[in-house]
Structure 1
């Protein structure tokens, strides 16, 4: 009997990667859902044996799906597959009834081993042929398919950075869905939608380069965040201009370094990082961008907006890849999809 499986993830790439590592004879029983609400609708209409569930999704996220399944006492085994690898994320989903937790990017051997613990037959070998089509785009085009790939790569790297921050500060980091856009410098402020217009901010920029790819990482922290950051880092003195600068640099080093490492690792690259540069302190976002507009022209911008649960801390991390980097990035992605 073919098991009925739902793969729920807002990334088309992630859904196809998961389907590819499942046994060949399972393929006819696989259903796809782009968010939690779609998954719940499928579960209402069909008898499903196994649900592979992402955590960070629009409409309904993985936590909300698990809560709904608990309330309904649904008879389906749930395996969480997520880039959010914080210890508390693992503990939360297991307490909410998940059968197991797998980190992204998925490990085919781990999946096959895990299937031994669920009550389904999987004796035939996994499907070897890729179900993912090659990305064929001009060098200056970023369509929905390529945007999805970059979003999923960022999602994994973002989770690694969040895990590091969570362990260092003993907190739960709220991870967003990354935004990916090819934009003109005049539109750069639109990528900072999560920063309130009336907020003043401080920002650090750090260049990176490696293997034909270069860009800058821009971390923007709202000034209202400094008080809670100081408390988390056990600093109880007066928040002077210099102290805030040191706190800003500490957060930037953690998030920029770990995100770039995560992205480079998935693309089989290594990035060298330049010295961080303070763009400004206590200024409006628009002023920071205007004052530094010469640094960026057209750019592939990836935005990550971090928050920390129960703390008034908000920061945006932007990875700004140069226009010349797009060709190399697309070749790397095509190679990744062929594996």
Structure 2
């Protein structure tokens, strides 16, 4: 009997990537949803055997969707597909009833092994795999960069989570082309919209791409950062800088490594530098206003569950990098 499959992910790139690595001989029909709420509506109106579910989505995320499925009769079997590879994320989704967990980008052989192990792979239809509708209508630089940033974000969070034995709450990355004044506004309305902040900056170059990583910490984060790192001394400026450098090395380094792996680039980097301490966001931006003009910005807000720790990671690409990035990311939307 033909399987009814639903792929739920807010990223059109991710939906397309997953659809094209499903076994072509699978006797199955594939449809799509863009968030958990849409997936639940679909499941309540149509039979669905298997749900491939992302975790980090707007409207209703994967965790909320798994909780809601408990109250639905004949709910589908769920395989989570996510860039959030924290050990606690994997444990949490399995505790909520997911069969298994696949990390993005999905490896075709790993996927096939999992669906075979659970007895989900059926064949026999002359048509094989049938994909209903489109995974997405169009793809641009922003959508592609958002998806690779989502994967890189998850890898970086996993390193920090393992180091501190915590769970990192992850957002959907934001990608926009901004003027410097708009960059200030974006940060001002983000996680750093009140109080004072401190920041570390580091430059990266490779294969015609130049970018700056800017990691901004809310000053209110420092007491809990010290607690997690088992630091008991009074937090003065020197200790605050040490804490910033420790956290930034874990968040920035693995993020850039994961980004480079997906683009097949080994980025060279400058030494990290403290951009400013205990300043308002506007004053931090003014420090480098002359260098930052029009930029492609990726913004990720990391928060540590049950702690008052929040930091805003901004990747600021030079305008000259855009054509190179677009070319390198085109593999995400190429048809096999």
Place the TM-score, normalised by the shorter chain, in its bin. over 0.9
| Aligned position for 2:9 | 9
Aligned-residue CA RMSD (Å): 2.0
Q: State whether residues 13 and 143 of structure 2, in contact with CA within 8 Å, keep that contact through their aligned partners in structure 1.
A: yes
Q: For the residues of structure 2 that align with 1:121 and 1:232, how far apart are their CA atoms?
A: 45
Equivalence for 2:144: 149
1:260 aligns with 2:259: no
* SS across alignment from 2:225: helix
Residues 5-84 of structure 1 aligned to structure 2 (within 5 Å): 5-24=5-24, 29-84=29-84
- Equivalent in the alignment of 2:274: 278
Cα separation, partners in 2 of 1:324 and 1:281, compared to 1, 3 Å: same
Deviation per residue, 1:9-57 (Å, 9 max, x gap): 0100000111111133558721101100000001000110100000000
1:190 to 1:100, Cα distance in 2 relative to 1, 3 A: same
Q: Do residues 207 (structure 1) and 203 (structure 2) align?
A: yes
In structure 2, stretches of 5+ residues that fail to align are none
* Superposed CA offset, 1:139-175 (max 9, x none): xxxxx63211111100000000000000000000001
Alpha carbons of structure 1 residues 123 and 196: separation in structure 2 relative to 1, 3 Å: same
Aligned partners of 2:25 and 2:186: how far apart in 1?
43
Change in Cα spacing, 1:149 to 1:14, as seen in structure 2 (3 Å) is same
Counterpart among 181, 185, 190 of residue 190 in structure 1? 185
Residue ranges of structure 1 left out of the alignment (5+ in a row) = 136-143
What SS is found at the alignment partner of 1:58?
coil
C-alpha separation in 1, matches of 2:275 and 2:290: 12
SS in 1 for 2:244: helix
Q: Which one of the candidate residues 266, 288, 292 is aligned to 1:292?
A: 288
2:176 aligned residue (173, 181, 185): 181
How far residue 132 of structure 1 moved from its aligned partner, in angstroms, is 8.1
C-alpha deviation, 1:195, in angstroms = 2.6
CA–CA separation in structure 2 for the residues paired with 1:51 and 1:255: 31
* 1:88 has 2:88 as partner: yes
TM-score by length of 1: 0.92
**1:88-115 alpha-carbon deviations (Å, 9 max, x no partner):** 0010000000000000111011111112
